[in-house]
Every structure is written in C-alpha cells, then in structure tokens.
C-alpha cells in the first residue's frame, strides 16, 4: 500500500510541556540504565546479556507511549528497554530482570536478561529468536478482532528479522486476515555484525512487503521523538480503525556494539562510530528542548538529577531482592490438568454401539466446541464444504460452529502453531486446537514455534500458559512412504513443557482429546491415522469420557511378559499376545496412552508381576521413545528383571514407499512374537 | 542583486568541500557563508538569496542541523526570497532515496512561499527514486562524490552560472 500523509500531531513547539517532561525523564533514566548495565557484568553481578538500545530512543519511546496496558498487547524484543519503560515498567523492574532476581516480573530469573515482560499487563514474554513473536502478535490480533475489541498488537523487532521465513508467514497472515497488528521494525542497519545489504537487497526492508494488499507501510526517523510519535500515532489509528496491519520501519542508529558479547570495533570504522554518536536521539531531543525554549538548562538538569536519584534507589532495591531458589526449577513445567471426577483412571464399562476412532475424535471436537464457546480450530485443509481436515476428522465443524471458529490456515506450519500460541495469550479461557500439519512428517517447519511454545509456561514463571492441543496424523501402515508415515514422538519427547499422548482405541482417543482441550497447557495429540477407520480400534465411547494424562491402560492381563506399547503397535501387540496365549504363554499388554507424563506406576507394577519387558513401538528403535522407557526400567526396576529389556521398532532408516520396503521396516506381529518368545524363554 | 548567503555545515568534510567549490565559482566577494549548525531565524530574515546544502543522511533524512531548524523554518514567511538547494547523495549505496534531503528541504521552503531556483534536468544519474525529482527535473543540484566525483566540478560550474541568471 502506498504511504499516505502522516499528520503532524506532535512537535517541539506544540506538544504539552508536561508530556515533554515525562518523555525527557524516561529517556534520561532509560539511557542511564542502558549505560550502567555493562557494569553489572563487570562486577559479576549479572546482566550477562545486554543489547543497548541507545540510538533507538525515539521509536522506542513512541512505541511504549502508545501502548495501553491491559488492552493492547505488546511483544518486546531484547533491545526494547526504553519501550518497556515507556509502557510503564519501572527502573527497578528493569534491573530485577537484568540481574535475574526472583521478583523479576518477566520470568523470575528464568529467561535471559534484557528480555522484558509483564504478562499481567499484556506485555508478553518473548523468545530470543529474532522476530519469533511476530506470529504471536498476529495470533493475539486475531483474538482482538474476533472479540471486537478496539486494541492493537504491537511487535518490536530489528530489521534483520525480516530475513526469517516465519516473519514472512506472520506478515502474510496478518495481511490476509486483516488484523490490527503493528510490526515496528527498528532499523539500525545491522544484524549483530551483518550489514543490511547482506540480509536483503532493499535497504528499506519494509518495502519488500509493499505488494501486500491490506498492509500499510510507514517509514519514520526512529532517532527523532516527534517523527516517531507521529508515525506511531498514525500506525495505531490506522490499525485500530481499519483493522489492518501496519509495518512501521523506523530508521535508527546503533550507537554501541550489538551486545556485550560483540565488539563493533572489529567491523565499524572510526568515522561510522563517530557519526552514530553524533546522531544520538537523546542529545538531539535535549538540544531541541533548549533551542525552542521549552525548558531551561536548569530545568533539564533538575530532571536529570531526579532520574539519577530514582536509578540509585532502584539499584539498591533490586540488589536486595531475593534470588530464585534452586528447588523452584520444577515449578511451572506443566500447568495442572483438569481432574476427572467420573473417570479418574480413564476407564469405563459403557456398553452399546462401537464407534470408529475417527468418529470418536469428530464427536469429541463437536462436543468441546459446544461446551466452550472460546474454542477454535485451524489448520491446513481444515474446512472447505464437505472437506474437514486432511482425513475429515473435523468434518461438519465449520458448518456447525462457523468460519470464525473453524477455518483454513495458509500452508505454513509455523504460522499454524505460532498463531495458536498468540491467540491463547488473549485470555485463559481460550482453547485452541490445531492440525499442526497435514501429516506428522510435515511438522518440522513448525518446530521453531513448538520449541518456543514449550518454554512459555516455565519461562514466564507460570504467568502464561499456551492452551493448545496440536493434533497430528501420525505413523505408517498406509503405504505412504517417508513423507506420510513417520513417527516423530521420540524426537518431540526430548523437549520439556509439552504433554504427548498417543491413543490406539476410539474411547481413549475421545477421552484424551477432551482432557487435552479442557486442560491448560500444550498437548501434542498423536493420531494413528491407520486406525481412523479400522474396526479393530472401534470401541464404545461414553459421551462424557475423559482419560487423565499419565494413565496407562492394561489392554490384556498376563503374567509371563509385559509389553509396553502405544499407537498402531498396541493392536499388533494384542494380536501377538493372543497368539502366544494359544501357545500357553501369558502376556500382559500395557497401552501407555500418555508418553508425557508417563504412568511409571502401572509400568513398574506390571514388571513386578511378569519380571520381563518388551517395548514395542512403530518409531525407530534407535532414538525412539523406547530407549527412555528402557532406561527408566533399568534404573528403577533392575532388581525385578529376569531378562534384559528388549525393544521392537523400526530400523534406523526412513520408511520406504513400496509396500515391500514398508513391510521390511515397520514392526509386525511376527517380529513382536519372536521377541516375546525370546524373552519368555530367557 | 542582493548578496547571496550559502548555508552548510562547517563541520562536515565532503559537503564543506563542494560548498567551497560553489563559493569559488560564485565569486567569494558575492557570497557569505553561514554555518548551518549555528543557524538562526535572523539569518533567514535579513537575507533574500540563499544557497543551501542538504546532504542526505541514512535512508533519506535531513541531517540533524537542518532537522532541528525545521520547526522554526516551517513558521517563516519566505515570500519574495529565493532559494537554491544542493546536496550530496550516493546513487549506488542508497539508490532508493538518492538526494532525498534536497526534496525534503525544497518542499518545506515552498510551503513557506519561497521561490526555488537552480532546478536541473534529471539526466546523467542512475538511481531508483528520489524526493528531489519531479517528473524529469531535479528541484536542486544532486552531487555524488562517491560515484560521480569527476563530474562535480562541471556540475557546479553549470549550476552556478544558471543560478546567477535566475537570481537576476
């Protein structure tokens, strides 16, 4: 969109003196902290990461000035210290974050210094990955629009962040959905030491997006307070009134090195270092206040003295604040899930008509969308007439609940997950379900957001829980080859902060889905797609069934051997156990249902009875989840074992497409039987 | 013809050099140099003919000394006064905003009622866009010491003789 005229609302001559005083005070105290921060590191107190903001003063002051707490949503990046202060975060709180104290409002010392947040005001906890939060800003802007609030989401970021693919995904999505979000690009010409020309051909990086239909692009001088104020005023007015995105590129200078681990003497010559100092925005603002006789030199000195006094007191208070306790590390890894009164063990004795696994999922989704009007679902291939999800799991949902709650996403997996994270930041009632990718195999582009979302609850010290269920059609036995058959739970399980469930029967799928959607937190819901329509996975499903996390289910009792399994291989294990039963061998089949959290109690109890364990899963043996199970058993039940723990799974290869290759790779009943016999006879 | 005032920053290197060339071409006795960094409104009020140096900084900004003077400039009545603007730019390094500062300053001067002289055909330069360009003319004299330094002397000579004619 062509740049339109920016009204000059703020100027040195017209702006109210009280406001000018507030701004000068903030800029002065902010700069004093910016200059003081490296001393904390030199004295070994902390603040080992500090990205100085000096040179970005105008745009940061303006961005914070236009933030309305508890209404707008702010996503700061690591250089946004003055923005944070202009939003209302105090000098003391900035230092608490800098030196990682337990009372740091951002993370209680859990996140890196210079990552400012105050989730209770909607100043959100953000990642260190540059521009990662653009997707969160888009997600929360989607909620702002859906709930009809007059507010904006604001994302602060450097100009190099536009090189990231997910930033493109965010800009594209915001443009497509016409969302009230402002991307404030603070352009200081460098990504650490990398000059802008090595990032993109266009110096005015925002203009790379000039083809977007609904996005307004505004350029301003981020070193100038008034130009920044006018640009930001216009950006907010436009985003709110038109409900459309704005990319605001503010030209800044970076007066110092990127951070205290960088040395700009290595790549900037003396002339450049001089002129960036000459273009110091604070010095310019001060000169103008005097030149235009808005303040006398004495008045400014008094303000500077007051800032110094506040900083001194803030420093003293922060130094005396408590440190985080080592035993607190286990707090806020997962939020507490809902507690099932009726089905505490996730078992039932319901009788009646059996339903397929796909029906169980579909009916549970519909029931949960009726139960909670703040439930949403999106994904690739989600809703187009009779198509509802790649396998039609969500069929009929859009017709019943409307296209604002059930909708297609662009083919951008990171966007699908990242905007789920963002939307759930709007309030704690919202529950988001996403089809993370068409198939589990295509989930990898979303790993960036998956990992980041896994951090959120812990990183924010329990202040923000992303309440998301990521559904993924997973596994093989469909002749799909290596892009439609992979199991990825082994890799995912290595990342703390996410529950992983993997049902194998219709009732458990329905019960676990209900628990996932109703509970706070992030749950990875793996769906064995080969079982969607398979009669062997069909069961009776109580309408209100719930399966708590971390509750395994003994699908067949036995005394000679325990098989631990989940997903597709539960059925293969049951078949094997049935055949072994005919040979007089008694095999217990434990369907884990939840991998994280894991039902260690049921596992150990079963081993106590059988003294032998076979782990069966479809994923690779090497690096698969079975390795973790095996290690836990060896560590906790070595004395109970009469044989080594054995594993059956795929070899260390991708899954082949030709059925001959697939059969040679994926586990089958015969291989399970052979391993089981070997163990029983050990 | 009343005496002409040339305004440029005395602390600059390249702009100062080209300003001195303009002074020389103009005739030292006919022109007074004023330091842009010490500019006052009086300098504008008491003179009628001006040559201003407006180098382009960053991605198309006025230098601080002009930017800080703009709030005063905007409130002036410049009817009956004549201005010519030159400025340094970099066609290759900053092709998206080649000599934007000339255009920015000229727009402000025009809003104040000033007469702008020294416009030249936009020929012999290669760039993508410029606020100094209107259709096929530049509203001042763009100079590019980075890429076309050898053309500077001739450009100044021609421009100054054009100014002398236009100032009559």
Q: Which residue of B has its CA nearest to A276?
A: B58
**With an 8 Å Cβ cutoff, are A12 and B71 in contact?**
yes
Alpha-carbon distances, residue A606 vs A222, A362, A557, A566, A589 (angstroms): 66, 33, 9, 16, 9
Q: What is the reported pLDDT for A1?
A: 42
Domain assignment present for A266: yes
The domain locations on chain B are 4-167
| A11 vs B59, B71, B97: nearest CB | B71
Residues in chain B: 168
Q: Which residue of B has its CA nearest to A250?
A: B59
Q: Does position B168 have pLDDT exceeding 80, yes or no?
A: no
Q: Which residue of A has its CA nearest to B95?
A: A203
- How far is B55 from chain A, CA to nearest CA, in Å? 14
Handedness of CA A546, A548, A549, A554 (dihedral sign): negative
The contacts of residue A55 (CB under 8 Å, 6+ apart) are A188, A223, A252, A253, A254, A255, A256, A276, A279, A280, A281
One domain, residues A66 and A193: yes
- Which DSSP category does A658 fall into? S
Domain assignment present for A347: no
Q: Does position B154 have pLDDT exceeding 50, yes or no?
A: yes
pTM: 0.97
- How far is B161 from chain A, CA to nearest CA, in Å? 34
Of residues B168 and B50, which shows the higher confidence score? B50
Using the structure block, give the residue that is written with the tokens 């062509």: A2
Tokens read off for A476: 């093989």
Q: Give the up-direction half-sphere exposure of residue A579: CA atoms within 13 A in the CB hemisphere.
A: 13
Q: Bridge partners of A184?
A: A156, A248
**With an 8 Å Cβ cutoff, are B67 and A13 in contact?**
no
Give A254's contacts in chain B (Cβ within 8 Å): none
**With an 8 Å Cβ cutoff, are B71 and A284 in contact?**
no
Give B67's contacts in chain A (Cβ within 8 Å): 221, 224, 284
Q: What is the reported pLDDT for A111?
A: 98
Give A224's contacts in chain B (Cβ within 8 Å): 67
**With an 8 Å Cβ cutoff, are B59 and A204 in contact?**
yes
Give B57's contacts in chain A (Cβ within 8 Å): 279
Last residue of a domain, one of A474, A504, A537: A537
Tokens read off for B120: 């030249």
Given a contact cutoff of 8 angstroms between Cβ atoms, the answer to whether A413 and A378 are in contact is: no
Q: In the 3-class helix/strand/coil scheme, how is A494-525 assigned residue by residue? A: CCCCCEEECCCCHHHHHHHHHHHHHCCCEEEE
Given a contact cutoff of 8 angstroms between Cβ atoms, the answer to whether A368 and A361 are in contact is: no
Alpha-carbon distances, residue A260 vs A114, A116, A498, B98 (angstroms): 11, 17, 33, 35
Given a contact cutoff of 8 angstroms between Cβ atoms, the answer to whether A509 and A566 are in contact is: no
Distance separating alpha carbons of residues B143 and B8, to the nearest angstrom: 14
Domain assignment present for A343: no
CB atoms within 10 A of CB A201: 8
> Cα-flanking dihedrals φ and ψ of residue B136, to 5°?
-105, 25
One domain, residues A502 and A563: no
Handedness of CA A278, A220, A264, A95 (dihedral sign): positive
Which residues of A are the active-site residues? 484
Distance separating alpha carbons of residues A207 and A184, to the nearest angstrom: 13
CA angle A581, A586, A591 (to 5 degrees): 100
Using the structure block, give the residue that is written with the tokens 């903030």: A26
The contacts of residue A353 (CB under 8 Å, 6+ apart) are A540
Q: In the 3-class helix/strand/coil scheme, how is A408-436 assigned residue by residue? A: ECCCCHHHHHHHHHHHCCCCCCCEEEEEC
Tokens read off for A266: 């290595």
Q: What is the reported pLDDT for A110?
A: 98
Comparing CA positions, the residue from A488, A398, A476 lying closest to residue A442 is: A488
- Chain B residues interacting with chain A (CB cutoff of 8 angstroms): 57-61, 64, 67-68, 71-72, 75, 94, 96-97
One domain, residues A471 and A573: no
Distance separating alpha carbons of residues A395 and A413, to the nearest angstrom: 21
One domain, residues A619 and A671: yes
Domain assignment present for A165: yes
Q: Bridge partners of A155?
A: A75, A183
Distance separating alpha carbons of residues A633 and A293, to the nearest angstrom: 77
One domain, residues A634 and A507: no
Give B9's contacts in chain A (Cβ within 8 Å): none
CATH 3.40.50.360 describes domain B4-167: yes
In angstroms, how far is CA A614 from the centroid of its own chain?
A: 35
Last residue of a domain, one of A513, A537, A561: A537
SS3 of residue B83 by DSSP:
strand
Instruction: Tell which of A9, A218, A221, A229 to mutate to test the B interface (max B CBs under 10 Å).
Output: A221
Count, in order, helices (H) and strands (E) of chain B.
Answer: 6, 9
Q: What is the reported pLDDT for B7?
A: 98
CB atoms within 10 A of CB B26: 18
Q: Is A622 on the interface with B (CB under 8 A)?
A: no
Positions of chain A with pLDDT under 70: 1-4
One domain, residues A606 and A519: no
Given a contact cutoff of 8 angstroms between Cβ atoms, the answer to whether A539 and A590 are in contact is: no
Distance separating alpha carbons of residues B95 and B128, to the nearest angstrom: 5
Q: What is the reported pLDDT for A4?
A: 59
One domain, residues A597 and A658: yes
One domain, residues A131 and A26: yes
In angstroms, how far is CA A133 from the centroid of its own chain?
A: 9
Q: Is A210 on the interface with B (CB under 8 A)?
A: no
A217-245 tens-digit pLDDT: 999 999 999 999 999 999 999 999 999 99
Domain assignment present for A543: no
Q: Is A224 on the interface with B (CB under 8 A)?
A: yes
Domain assignment present for A548: no
Q: Is A208 on the interface with B (CB under 8 A)?
A: no
Distance separating alpha carbons of residues A473 and A467, to the nearest angstrom: 20
B54-113 tens-digit pLDDT: 999 999 999 999 999 999 999 999 999 999 999 999 999 999 999 999 999 999 999 999
Alpha-carbon distances, residue A612 vs A441, A571, A627, A634 (angstroms): 33, 20, 16, 11
Distance separating alpha carbons of residues A435 and A443, to the nearest angstrom: 10
Comparing CA positions, the residue from A625, A636, A606, A657 lying closest to residue A524 is: A625
Give A221's contacts in chain B (Cβ within 8 Å): 58, 61, 67
Structural domains of chain A, count: 3
One domain, residues A565 and A476: no
B133-134/B49-53 β-pairing: unpaired
| Residue A300 structural domain | 17-321
Domain assignment present for A598: yes
Distance separating alpha carbons of residues A492 and A500, to the nearest angstrom: 8
One domain, residues A580 and A497: no
Helix H or strand E segment including A183: strand A181-187
Domain assignment present for A10: no
One domain, residues A518 and A565: no
Last residue of a domain, one of A300, A321, A342: A321
Q: Bridge partners of B6?
A: B33, B51
Given a contact cutoff of 8 angstroms between Cβ atoms, the answer to whether A369 and A517 are in contact is: no
Q: Is A234 on the interface with B (CB under 8 A)?
A: no
One domain, residues A110 and A249: yes
Given a contact cutoff of 8 angstroms between Cβ atoms, the answer to whether A619 and A667 are in contact is: no
A375-379/A431-435 β-pairing: parallel
Distance separating alpha carbons of residues B122 and B140, to the nearest angstrom: 10
């Amino acid at each position: 969109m062509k740049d339109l005229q920016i009204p000059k609302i703020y100027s040195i001559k017209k702006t109210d003196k009280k406001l000018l005083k507030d701004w000068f005070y903030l800029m002065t105290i902010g700069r004093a902290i910016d200059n003081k921060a490296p001393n904390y590191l030199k004295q070994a107190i902390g603040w080992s990461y500090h990205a100085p903001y000096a040179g970005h003063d105008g745009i940061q002051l303006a961005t914070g000035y236009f933030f309305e707490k508890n209404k707008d949503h702010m996503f700061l990046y690591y250089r946004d210290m003055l923005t944070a202060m202009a939003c209302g975060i105090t000098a003391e709180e900035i230092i608490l974050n800098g030196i990682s104290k337990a009372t740091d409002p951002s993370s209680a010392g859990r996140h890196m210094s210079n990552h400012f947040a105050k989730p209770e005001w909607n100043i959100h906890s953000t990642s260190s990955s540059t521009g990662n939060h653009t997707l969160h800003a888009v997600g929360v802007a989607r909620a702002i629009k859906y709930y009809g609030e007059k507010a904006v989401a604001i994302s602060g970021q450097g100009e190099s962040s536009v090189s990231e693919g997910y930033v493109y995904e965010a800009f594209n999505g915001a443009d497509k959905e016409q969302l009230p979000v402002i991307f404030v690009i603070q352009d200081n010409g460098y990504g650490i030491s990398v000059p802008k020309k090595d990032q993109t051909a266009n110096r005015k990086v925002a203009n790379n997006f000039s083809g977007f239909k609904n996005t307004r692009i505004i350029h301003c001088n981020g070193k100038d307070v008034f130009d920044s104020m006018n640009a930001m005023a216009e950006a907010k007015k436009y985003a709110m009134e038109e409900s459309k995105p704005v990319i605001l590129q503010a030209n800044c200078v970076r007066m110092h090195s990127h951070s205290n681990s960088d040395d700009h003497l290595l790549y900037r010559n003396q002339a450049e270092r001089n002129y960036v100092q000459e273009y110091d925005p604070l010095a310019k603002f001060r000169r103008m206040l005097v030149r235009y006789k808005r303040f006398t030199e004495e008045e400014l000195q008094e303000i500077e003295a007051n800032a110094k006094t506040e900083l001194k007191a803030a420093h003293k208070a922060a130094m005396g604040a408590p440190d985080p306790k080592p035993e607190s590390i286990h707090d806020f890894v997962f939020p507490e899930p809902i507690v099932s009164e009726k089905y505490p063990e996730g078992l039932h004795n319901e009788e009646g008509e059996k339903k397929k696994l796909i029906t169980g999922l579909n009916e549970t989704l519909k029931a949960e969308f009726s139960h909670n009007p703040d439930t949403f679902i999106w994904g690739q291939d989600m809703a187009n007439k009779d198509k509802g999800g790649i396998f039609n799991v969500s069929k009929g949902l859009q017709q019943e609940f409307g296209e604002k709650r059930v909708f297609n996403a662009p083919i951008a997996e990171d966007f699908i997950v990242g905007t789920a994270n963002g939307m759930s930041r709007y309030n704690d009632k919202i529950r988001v379900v996403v089809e993370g990718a068409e198939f589990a195999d295509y989930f990898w582009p979303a790993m960036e957001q998956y990992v980041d979302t896994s951090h959120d609850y812990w990183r924010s010290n329990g202040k923000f829980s992303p309440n998301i269920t990521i559904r993924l059609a997973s596994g093989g036995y469909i002749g799909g080859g290596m892009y439609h058959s992979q199991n990825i739970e082994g890799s995912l399980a290595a990342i703390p902060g996410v529950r992983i469930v993997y049902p194998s029967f219709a009732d458990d799928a329905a019960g676990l889905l209900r628990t996932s959607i109703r509970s706070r937190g992030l749950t990875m819901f793996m769906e064995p797609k080969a079982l969607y329509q398979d009669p062997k996975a069909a069961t009776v499903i109580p309408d209100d069934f719930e399966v708590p996390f971390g509750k395994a289910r003994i699908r067949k009792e036995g005394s000679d051997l325990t098989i631990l399994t989940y997903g597709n291989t539960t059925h293969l294990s049951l078949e094997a156990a049935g055949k072994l039963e005919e040979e007089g061998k008694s095999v217990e089949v434990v369907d884990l249902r939840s991998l994280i959290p894991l039902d260690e109690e049921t596992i150990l109890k079963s081993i106590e009875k059988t003294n032998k364990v076979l782990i069966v899963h479809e994923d690779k043996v090497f690096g698969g989840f079975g390795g973790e199970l095996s290690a836990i058993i060896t560590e906790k039940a070595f004395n109970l074992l009469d044989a080594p723990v054995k594993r059956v799974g795929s070899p260390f290869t991708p899954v082949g497409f030709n059925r001959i290759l697939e059969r040679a790779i994926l586990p089958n009943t015969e291989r399970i039987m052979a391993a089981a016999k070997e163990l029983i006879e050990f | 013809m009343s005496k002409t005032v040339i305004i440029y920053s005395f602390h600059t290197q390249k702009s100062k050099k080209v300003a001195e060339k303009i002074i020389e071409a103009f005739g030292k006795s006919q022109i007074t140099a004023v330091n842009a960094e010490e500019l006052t409104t009086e300098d504008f009020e008491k003179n009628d003919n001006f040559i201003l140096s407006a180098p382009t900084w960053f991605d198309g900004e006025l230098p601080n000394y002009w930017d800080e003077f703009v709030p005063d400039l905007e409130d002036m009545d410049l009817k009956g006064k004549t201005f010519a603007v030159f400025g340094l730019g970099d066609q290759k390094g900053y092709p998206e905003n080649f000599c934007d500062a000339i255009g920015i300053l000229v727009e402000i001067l025009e809003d104040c009622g000033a007469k702008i002289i020294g416009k030249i055909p936009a020929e012999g330069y290669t760039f993508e866009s410029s606020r100094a360009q209107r259709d096929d003319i530049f509203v001042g004299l763009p100079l590019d010491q980075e890429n076309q330094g050898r053309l500077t002397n001739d450009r100044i000579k021609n421009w100054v003789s054009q100014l002398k004619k236009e100032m009559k």
